Homo-oligomer: A and B are copies of this chain.
Amino acid sequence: MTNGIRRSKLHRGAGNRIVALIAFLTVAALHGAIAQSPQTISKKKFQFPNQIPAPANNPVTPARVELGKMLFFDPRLSGSNWISCATCHNPAMGWSDGLPTAIGNGMTTLKRATPTIVNTVFNELQMWDGRFHSLEEQAVGPMQAPGEMNSTMDDILSKLKSMPGYVEGFDRAYPGEGITKDTVAKAVASFERTIISQGAPFDAWVHGKNRAISPSAQRGFDLFTGKANCVACHSGPNFTDEGFHNIGLGGDDPGRFAKLPIKISKGAFKTPTLRDVALTAPYMHNGAYRTLEEVIDHYDRGGDDRSNLDPSIHPLGLSVLEKKDLLQFLTTLSGKQVAISLPRLPQ
């Protein structure tokens, strides 16, 4: 646990300090609470802040969200004019693609799984290896990656400028700023800031509705915060410490090490949110597991490859019933379905 905190500080970027503080306090508070009565003491620590974080130079406005949504769903932002952000971050599939690892331009299979964009607004660093420091920085990455959307910013900007619908949209969202890499990034990021998992049964329970989740799920929460100690990394309202951990999956992907070449980063990947986790199979950065049952089994046996294993990972000795309870708990993190209605894109 203390390890987890130290590590998350080491790996942390220059993101929102308030969220960092909340995450820190949550983990610290949980640490003290676990031995006593986890389910009553720690429930409050899983409540989201009321404020959605956004950078000072890009506050969220309806015009920005609307424009960002258009861009997000527009396949013309790719070199082929066929792949949009939503192709892989598919709202119908938990804002991911349901694949073990992503498919990119030319339908080649990529090395890592598409992460959901649910709750990425709360992330301090983006991507499995944390290489982007903000949603703005991330948003224009895949568009220009040859293996993903395979476009260039020049091409994207000239396409957008040729469409009156977009010229008007940018003018409404960013008056006087024009259509630039910066405003494209800001608009997409603004839309992404609205993709938040809300209204999960777990949240109702946290807010005092004692029957909002089943007794089995409640036992699962006790295990999650106690015996199984999942909160060592999956902490706070977004169920992530914002850190990077090697959880013993093996393989030759350096993960965080490529960005931060210290031993602890080797094969370490960002702790993903567990919000909507039941909607985003398969699991892990490499899509190794098809089901949450397989994920729980992985942690129960303490991982597989021990070469640079995070010290918090060790065999858990969970019973069949305990595994079932943990699973039940995880399914309570699925938010209500939000109606995403598709935009009509400019011609």
A residues sitting closer than 8 Å to B (CB atoms) are 73-76, 80-82, 87, 90-94, 97-99, 103, 105-107, 278-279, 281, 337, 339-345, 347
Q: Are B99 and A81 in contact (CB under 8 A)?
A: yes
B contact residues around A73 at 8 Å (CB): 92
A92 to chain B, nearest CB (A): 5
Across the interface, A345 reaches (CB within 8 A) one of B81, B92, B341, namely B92
Residues of chain B lying within 8 A (CB to CB) of residue A281: 347
Chain B residues within 8 Å of A75, by CB: 90, 93, 97-98
Contacts of A76 in B (CB 8 A): 98
- Copies per complex of this chain: 2
Verify B279–A347 contact, CB threshold 8 A. yes
CB-CB under 8 A from A106, the residues of chain B are 106-107
Neighbouring B residues of A99 by C-beta, 8 Å? 81-82
10 new A-B contacts at CB < 8 Å, known A98-B345, A279-B344, A339-B342:
A75-B90, A81-B98, A82-B97, A82-B99, A82-B103, A92-B344, A92-B345, A106-B106, A278-B347, A341-B342
Q: A205: shortest Cβ distance to chain B, in Å?
A: 21
Q: Separation in Å of the A289 CB from the closest CB of chain B?
A: 13
Cβ contacts under 8 Å, A278 to chain B: 347
How close is A124's CB to chain B, nearest CB, in angstroms?
Answer: 28
Residues of B within 8 A of A343 (CB): 92
Q: How far is the CA of A328 from the CA of B214 in the complex (A)?
A: 60
* Cα of A73 to Cα of B339 in the assembled complex, Å: 14
Question: Which B residues are CB-close (under 8 A) to A107?
Answer: 80, 82, 105-107
Taking CB as reference atom, which chain B residue is nearest A278? Answer: B347
Interface-centre pick from A74, A82, A106 (highest chain B CB count, 10 A): A82
Q: Is the CB of B337 within 8 A of A340?
A: no
A94 to B345 CA separation, bound complex (whole angstroms):
8
Smallest CB separation, A340 vs chain B (Å): 5
7 smallest beta-carbon distances between A and B, as pairs? A339-B341, A341-B341, A337-B344, A92-B342, A91-B342, A92-B345, A82-B103
Cα distance A136–B55 in the bound complex, in angstroms: 50
Considering the chains assembled together, what is the distance between the CA atoms of A16 and B22 in angstroms? 64
Contacting residues, chain B, for A82 (C-beta < 8 A): 87, 97, 99, 103, 107
Cβ contacts under 8 Å, A97 to chain B: 75, 81-82
Q: How far is the CA of A225 from the CA of B99 in the complex (A)?
A: 51
A344 to B339, CA, bound (A): 9
B residues in contact with A103, CB < 8 Å:
80, 82
Least Cβ distance of A306 to chain B in Å?
31
Determine the distance from Cα of A345 to Cα of B325 in the docked complex, in whole angstroms. Answer: 24
Query: How far does the alpha carbon of A296 sit from the alpha carbon of B97 in the complex, in Å?
Result: 41
Cα of A340 to Cα of B341 in the assembled complex, Å: 5
State in angstroms the CA–CA spacing of A103 and B105 once bound together: 12
Q: How far is the CA of A188 from the CA of B87 in the complex (A)?
A: 20
Smallest beta-carbon distance A186→chain B, Å: 21
Q: Of residues A73, A92, A94, which shows the largest number of chain B Cβ atoms within 10 Å of its Cβ?
A: A92
